[in-house]
A and B are shown apart, each in its own frame.
Chain A
Amino acid sequence: MADKRVGNVFMPGDVLEDLQVSESVKKIVLGPGLIDDGNRIKISKPGILRFREPGIYWIDCHQKRYVPSKGDSVIGIITQKAGDIFRVDIGGSEQASLSYLSFEGATKRNRPDVKVGDIVYAKLLVANKDMEPEVVCIDSYGRSSGMGVIRNGGFLFNASLNLVRKLLSPQCALVKSLGHRFQFELAVGLNGRVWAKSKSDIQTIAMANGIMASEFMDNNQIKAMCKRLSRAVSGMEVE
């Protein structure tokens, strides 16, 4: 049972009183943009109230500044080597720390090969408004599972946080329809960074442009755009 107000636009400072809960759900989960303030809920971001079964509410808002939150997968840039940790720029207000031991197969003797300027795909382990964020490149089993240093070229560009979420949402057709037409690899960080690589630079740039252009398109428009894009790219590569 979703609340009637789901889908409405809210502004920071608005108050949500007695949010509806179905009987089977014991606790409501408050996502980003909602703050628990005693017996009422306050809104802290401008946007649309969203709901998902069972009892998860959040505010969907347009945003460019990344605020680290625990469990997010982000793309960071190594900016400094400081003893046994690396400083990583993840686009937040503060640089995150990354221990050299939190790579797959790393031990005290066997240090990972990471240099300043490298791109890493990492997960936020600690994200607290009062503390320095910490990222790791392994999961809880000690495996890399897709995280770690991203090597061998490619193209890194910034997008809005909205677009990044749209890319990863199961409803969005963009990545899938690009995948039908191109052979490529993609890394999407929830901090608004997107890294793409394909077999030619022309293709990579075309894809990056396509991704950037798709922010305000619906699925049909996206499919049409991908069609045009693949035609244009194949035309260019023939020349």
Chain B
Amino acid sequence: MAANKGAQLSKNVLQMKFMQRSVLRIEREQNEDERQKIIDDEHWVLDLPEYKTKEHRYLKDQSYAFCEQLRFGRQSFQGFNPEIEKLMKAEIAEQELKEAEEKEKQNSVSDKEMTQRYSSLMGILAKKFAKKRSRKDIVDEEEVEEPSKKKAFLKPSDD
């Protein structure tokens, strides 16, 4: 819009007679801007109490094919229709892949287990990464209560 642009005409120029049309235009544009703003804010909002959407506890699927995991209905055997046989092979491969993935999921360590394992290892790992000197301190602190027995040479019996 012209009114917003950097190069604005000065008041004196606008007061000249031949500039009157431009003055009108600029005014009109400003008015329009303001009206637009009013529309933006309030035009699309209905003043209604908030809707409570019921939470659906169930998903619905009325297809037996999904529930019973039925196979695809076109099948061919012993090379009667190679095209269909190719599709069947692809379907079987896909299914096997899915099963393998599921198995892998069961066997592998979950994120939760991982964090548990590592949080239990915390102290030990800290020891590992500590510098030699401070490591000694940690060890010392733990072993303070143990009575320090001096090791001495035990003479074996002669018999």
Contact = CB atoms under 8 A, between A and B. Distances in A.
A148 to B, nearest CB: 10
Nearest to A21: B57
Contacts of A178: 77
A71 B158 CA distance: 92
Nearest to B69: A170
Given A169-B68, A183-B77, A146 B63 contact: no
Interface stretch (A7-15, A185-193, A219-227, A229-237): A185-193
B67 interface: yes
B77 A71 contact: no
A144 to B, nearest CB: 9
A29 interface: yes
B61 A186 contact: no
B70 interface: yes
Contacts of A41: 58
Given A28-B58, A36-B60, A145-B87, A186 B75 contact: yes
Interface residues of A, number: 43
A204 to B, nearest CB: 11
Interface of A: 27-32, 36, 41, 50, 52, 56, 58, 67, 69-73, 121, 127, 145-146, 161, 165, 168-170, 175, 178-180, 182-190, 197-199
Contact of A69 (B57, B62, B79, B81): B62
Nearest to B71: A168
Nearest to A176: B77
Contacts of A183: 77-80
A30 B59 contact: yes
A208 to B, nearest CB: 15
B21 interface: no
Given A28-B59, A56-B67, A186-B74, 16 more contacts: A28-B57, A29-B67, A32-B63, A36-B58, A56-B66, A58-B64, A58-B67, A71-B63, A72-B64, A72-B65, A146-B84, A161-B64, A179-B75, A182-B78, A185-B81, A197-B80
A170 to B, nearest CB: 6
Interface string B75-94: 11111110110010000000
25 contacts: A28-B57, A29-B67, A30-B59, A30-B60, A31-B61, A36-B57, A36-B58, A50-B67, A58-B68, A69-B62, A71-B66, A121-B74, A146-B74, A146-B87, A165-B64, A168-B70, A169-B70, A175-B75, A185-B75, A186-B74, A187-B73, A189-B73, A190-B73, A198-B80, A199-B80
A186 B58 contact: no
Q: Which of A69, A70, A161, A168 has the most CB of B within 10 A?
A: A168
Given A165-B70, A187-B74, A190-B70, A70 B84 contact: no
Contacts of A175: 75
A184 B80 contact: yes
A162 to B, nearest CB: 10
A186 B77 CA distance: 9
A183 B85 CA distance: 12
